[in-house]
Amino acid sequence: MKKWVATLIALSTSGMVSLPVLSDTMTLDQCLETAFQKNLGLASKQLSSQGKRSTANAALLGMLPSLSMSASASDTVYNSVGGSKPDSYSSSLTLSQTVYQGNYLWSNWKKAELAKDQADLETVRQGRQLTQEIKAAWYAYLESIHKHKEAIEALERLKQHEKNAVAFYQEGRYWRNEVLQAQVEVARGEQKLIEAENTRTLARSTLNQLLRRPLNTELEPLGELAWTPMIWTDLDEANDFALENRSDLHKSKLNKRIGKLTEQTTAYSYYPKVTLSSSMTMSADNLSHEDSTTTGKVMLSASWTPWEWGKTGEELAAARQTTESYNLAYDELVESVMLEVQKAFLTAVEADKKVKVLKKALEQSVENYRVNQVRYREQLGTATDVLDAQDLLTSTRNDYIGALSSYLTALASMDLAVGQKSGADALIKNTEVEQEGLIGGLKKIVEPLGSE
């Protein structure tokens, strides 16, 4: 018993609750890596990001000249004048380029680029949320393991007390009711152990679900519930950091830019469209084009729709209203982010203070249990005193374990609230390899040609 008490005091005063190193283990980093690889939500966001990138590239390539080919064959089957005409065959090759349409093509490409950036930011947000969920499930699983271990140790203490009560009763030092009371407490301890086992199983299943593993797969975590200092000591600094790093805020800013570009493309639809084309046509009376006639043409064409009963004006008004709604949505999101950061900050501070208070309380409950054990053996205390001390020790230790888990989870929530980078951010960087060749060269040429 003295050895157990000494071990408990050492654990409670170390600032952490350590797990034994077991075989077939996974660390928190390994869980995160597995989740990043297998999570369907994150994979969906990545595919969406890749699709937006292709759309932006298509819009960029749409600014280049287009090359088209055509061929035709005709045969006169009836001629009222009489006589016959030979078959006619022709083939043509046409190169065309839009040379003017306001700044429509550039604005349309830029909108697609910004939409791609938004998709990347959504992927980042999804990854950061997944990181917070994995950490919360990880700490909850560690908490359940430690509480299960405490339930086992509490039951052992109750059984030891039952043995002592029986021995003292047989010696005639105590009444039989103390034996009965001890046996009832053992039964309660067994019930609590069953509850702790179920809690541990459910916590493991929750973590396995996030890792996309079968729910009942064994998982032995290699880690600890260890107190770490909170890096944010000033709420204003946390708010400033969130304004600079929250991906959803950046996405909302891009909405405002997209709104302005939509206004431009809507206005440019009223502009005339000027197209320059060059064609080469070969005509002959035979399919092999022997003795064919070749004709080359260069044509500059313009089209303009000056009147549509105010349709363009209404579309432009709608685009401006949408832009204004984006501005209001951004302001509202900023306020929501500030509230989220404040809530996460206060929760983390509260959890930190709770850990420190319960650490001291755990030391006192360990000593209280030891004193009541001694008093009971010396017939200076009752079984009720020992059992009360036992309940106090178990509940305080569970509270301390829960407080550590809650504090670490609060830190993970704080990281999410301020937009702290996670391992998922690297997924975007890996896809943002500088494009070479045609696409990369075109971007360098086209980018300075327009303005938002």
Structural domain boundaries in the chain = 2-64+105-273+310-449
Q: Does position 349 have pLDDT exceeding 60, yes or no?
A: yes
Contacts of 7 (CB under 8 A, 6+ apart): none
Please, what is the average pLDDT of the chain? Answer: 85
Q: Does position 238 have pLDDT exceeding 70, yes or no?
A: yes
Q: Which of 77-86, 113-122, 212-221 has the lowest mean pLDDT?
A: 77-86
Confidence of residue 14 (pLDDT cuts 50, 70, 90): very low
Contact, 124 vs 428, CB < 8 A?
A: yes
Confidence of residue 137 (pLDDT cuts 50, 70, 90): very high
How much of the chain exceeds pLDDT 90, in percent?
49
pLDDT of residue 414: 96
Q: Does position 261 have pLDDT exceeding 50, yes or no?
A: yes
Confidence of residue 165 (pLDDT cuts 50, 70, 90): confident
Q: Count of CB atoms within 10 A of residue 84's CB? A: 6
Token code pair at residue 370: 């030891």
DSSP string, 336-366: HHHHHHHHHHHHHHHHHHHHHHHHHHHHHHH
Contact, 121 vs 250, CB < 8 A?
A: yes
Look up residue 103 and give its DSSP letter.
B
DSSP string, 233-251: --HHHHHHHHHHH-HHHHH
pLDDT of residue 2: 40
Contacts of 132 (CB under 8 A, 6+ apart): 412, 413, 415, 416
DSSP string, 425-439: HHHHHHH-PPP-HHH
Which own/partner pairs from 297-301 qualify as long-range (CB within 8 Å, at least 24 positions apart)?
A: 300/274, 300/275, 300/276, 301/274, 301/275, 301/277
pLDDT of residue 8: 38
Q: Does position 12 have pLDDT exceeding 90, yes or no?
A: no
Q: Does position 15 have pLDDT exceeding 60, yes or no?
A: no
Burial class (CB within 10 angstroms; exposed 0-12, middle 13-18, buried 19+) of 255: buried
How many residues are given for the chain?
Answer: 452
Q: What is the pLDDT of residues 292-338, one digit of tens each?
A: 788 989 999 999 888 889 888 898 999 999 999 999 999 999 999 99
Contact, 242 vs 341, CB < 8 A?
A: yes
Contact, 237 vs 414, CB < 8 A?
A: no
Residues paired with 91 in a beta bridge: 71, 282
CA distance 253 to 331: 10
pLDDT of residue 417: 96
Confidence of residue 3 (pLDDT cuts 50, 70, 90): very low
3-class secondary-structure state, position 66: strand
3-class secondary-structure state, position 424: coil
Contact, 144 vs 131, CB < 8 A?
A: no
Confidence of residue 437 (pLDDT cuts 50, 70, 90): low
Q: Which of 1-5, 311-315, 321-325, 443-447 has the lowest mean pLDDT?
A: 1-5
Confidence of residue 427 (pLDDT cuts 50, 70, 90): low
CA distance 149 to 123: 39
3-class secondary-structure state, position 71: strand
Q: Does position 20 have pLDDT exceeding 60, yes or no?
A: no
Helix or strand run (H / E) with residue 331: helix 311-377
Cα 343-28-427 angle, rounded to 5 deg: 80
CA distances from 329 to 69, 241, 332, 336 (A): 48, 20, 5, 10
Q: What is the pLDDT of residues 374-412, one digit of tens each?
A: 887 777 877 778 778 888 888 899 999 999 999 999 999
Q: Do the strands 66-74 and 88-100 form a parallel or antiparallel pair, or are they unpaired?
A: antiparallel
CA distance 215 to 120: 31
pLDDT of residue 173: 66
CA distance 439 to 61: 8
Q: What is the pLDDT of residues 33-43, one digit of tens each?
A: 999 999 999 99
pLDDT of residue 7: 41
pLDDT of residue 339: 97
Token code pair at residue 134: 């994995």
Confidence of residue 78 (pLDDT cuts 50, 70, 90): low
Q: Does position 284 have pLDDT exceeding 50, yes or no?
A: yes
Contact, 76 vs 84, CB < 8 A?
A: yes
Q: Which residue has the higher pLDDT, 12 or 197?
A: 197
Confidence of residue 18 (pLDDT cuts 50, 70, 90): very low
Contact, 298 vs 277, CB < 8 A?
A: yes
Q: Does position 17 have pLDDT exceeding 50, yes or no?
A: no
Average pLDDT over every residue of 233-245: 94
Contact, 147 vs 192, CB < 8 A?
A: no
Token code pair at residue 306: 């000056």
Residues paired with 226 in a beta bridge: 16
3-class secondary-structure state, position 289: coil
Average pLDDT over every residue of 192-211: 93
3-class secondary-structure state, position 227: coil
CATH number of 2-64+105-273+310-449: 1.20.1600.10
Confidence of residue 23 (pLDDT cuts 50, 70, 90): very low
Average pLDDT over every residue of 264-280: 89
Contact, 160 vs 369, CB < 8 A?
A: no
Average pLDDT over every residue of 9-15: 40
Instruction: From 48, 417, 43, select the one nearest 248 (Cα to Cα).
Output: 417
Q: Does position 240 have pLDDT exceeding 60, yes or no?
A: yes
